[in-house]
Structure 1
Amino acid sequence: MESSVGLRERKKEATRRAVHEATLRLTVEHGFDHVTVEAVADTAGISRRTFSNYFASKEDALLYGEEQQMAALVRAVRERPADEPAWPALRAAMAQFSAGVEPPEREWAVRTRLALRHPSLLARQLANHAAMERDLAEAVTLRAGPGHGAVRPQVMAAAFLSSLRIAMRMWIEEDLAGAPGVLIGEILDEMARDFN
């Protein structure tokens, strides 16, 4: 029974991945405004109804890869040792996450540039980022230390994600080669400094 459930989940994930990749490919070839759900379904070899079983919109399908990466980063934070302070846990989780994935492929840059040009995509991406910020704040709440209440974890999660956004924007705008890990580290160092 367990193996059939595992196989079914792997097939579902493969379908999600195929739809995501088809959406990205068609968007790069034809522009986001010219991509239809029907064209994505045809390219992925599924029916329109099957598309709807997996994604509510083409925005969701396009951003699926990014959502998976966000979820993996939050998991990495939650899996850090319980006695590790919050900011070091965030940094270590980012380093661990970065080591476990290939350098950011141009797909990430393509999605980001598309989001900046398409309000519906940007709105969906911002909603994803807000959810990730909430999840990270929850993950670091116990690490923030006694007496900090709910504010410190929220500020810390927002600062961490802002650092990542700044680093990735610079990486894209400057078209830097290789992985952005060094740049992320520099910006996280700067964010950790006292502003006074």
Structure 2
Amino acid sequence: MAQGDDGRLGLRERKKRETRVALSQATIRLCVERGWDNVTVEDIATAANVSVRTFRNYFSSKAEAIAAGHVERMLRIADEVRSRPATEPLWDSIVQAVQTQFAPGDTTGGESAHDQRWRDGLRLMLAEPALQGEVVKANAAAQDELAEAIAERTGTDTTHDVYPKLVAAVVSAGSAVAVEHCLRADAPTPVVPVLIEVFDQLAAGLPIP
């Protein structure tokens, strides 16, 4: 995230991210409640208490707004990787960062409203054909940001070195497999234990079960 000498640019960037998240969540909520075809950009702007012009400043479509929720979670994972102790092994930092961002927000044992919106958004992305192109772009943007964080931690370069991009792609794929496994399970399945299993198997070199 860019920072000016006095930190004001950082604050502006944070505000922009907050607005993006609010618009994404409003889009997800309305599409879940009313159905994909029954929600307009005007509806979303009204629900988020902004103008249609403001929505258009952030997103070109409701599909992009929904996919942005995935990008934001990966941005937080990248931020967490950057904030972990420099002496911590990279893979440990990544696993902890991923678990932190996928852990339920309600520590009393229930699922928070934020986590429910995220799950609803993922189900939409899996089920709605109109979203597939935006999902591909969202995944690419998320991997790029994570690769930058990994490059900073390892002293590598995303332009000349394959390592940070490879690790980011593996983390993205592993997380996606765990999430889809949980969403498609017959019974409610917490995602964190599945993530732990996925990353344990990756760390072990994917041995045949």
Question: Which bracket does the TM-score occupy, shorter chain normalised?
Answer: 0.7 to 0.9
**Sequence identity of aligned pairs in percent?**
36
SS of the residue aligned with 2:95?
helix
Report the Cα offset of residue 72 of structure 1: 0.7
SS of the residue aligned with 1:155?
helix
TM-score for both structures, normalised by structure 1:
0.78
* Matched residue, 1:91: 95
Q: 1:58-112 deviations in whole A, cap 9, x for unaligned? A: 1232233332221111111112222333222211222344468445723223222
* 1:62–1:111 CA contact under 8 A, matched in 2: yes
After TM superposition, the structure 1 = structure 2 runs for residues 11-26 of structure 1, keeping only pairs within 5 Å, are: 15-26=19-30
SS of the residue aligned with 1:174?
coil
Q: What residue identity is the alignment partner of 1:77?
A: V
* Matched residue, 2:177: 166
Q: What residue identity is the alignment partner of 2:144?
A: R
Tell me the number of residue pairs that the alignment of Structure 1 and Structure 2 aligns. Answer: 193
Structure having the higher helix fraction is 1
Q: 1:17-47 deviations in whole A, cap 9, x for unaligned? A: 4433332222112221332112222333333
SS of the residue aligned with 2:86?
coil
TM-score for both structures, normalised by structure 2:
0.73
Distance in 2 (alpha carbons) for counterparts of 1:65 and 1:76: 17
* 2:74–2:142 CA contact under 8 A, matched in 1: yes
Q: 1:103-132 deviations in whole A, cap 9, x for unaligned? A: 572322322222223334222122121122
1:35 aligns with 2:45: no
Distance in 1 (alpha carbons) for counterparts of 2:140 and 2:187: 27
SS of the residue aligned with 1:56?
coil
Q: 1:136-193 deviations in whole A, cap 9, x for unaligned? A: 22322355589xx722332222112211111111111115546421111011001112
Distance verdict in 2 for CA 1:78–1:36, change over 3 Å: same
Distance in 1 (alpha carbons) for counterparts of 2:11 and 2:188: 38
1:139 aligns with 2:149: yes
* Matched residue, 1:128: 138
Note the aligned Cα RMSD (angstroms). Answer: 3.4
Distance verdict in 2 for CA 1:158–1:35, change over 3 Å: same
Which structure 2 segments of 5+ residues have no match?
1-5
Distance in 1 (alpha carbons) for counterparts of 2:20 and 2:152: 34
Which structure 1 segments of 5+ residues have no match?
none
Greater displacement, 56-65 / 126-135: 56-65
Distance in 2 (alpha carbons) for counterparts of 1:115 and 1:178: 19
2:165 is aligned, of 154, 161, 175, to 154
* 2:102–2:191 CA contact under 8 A, matched in 1: no
Report the Cα offset of residue 12 of structure 1: 5.8
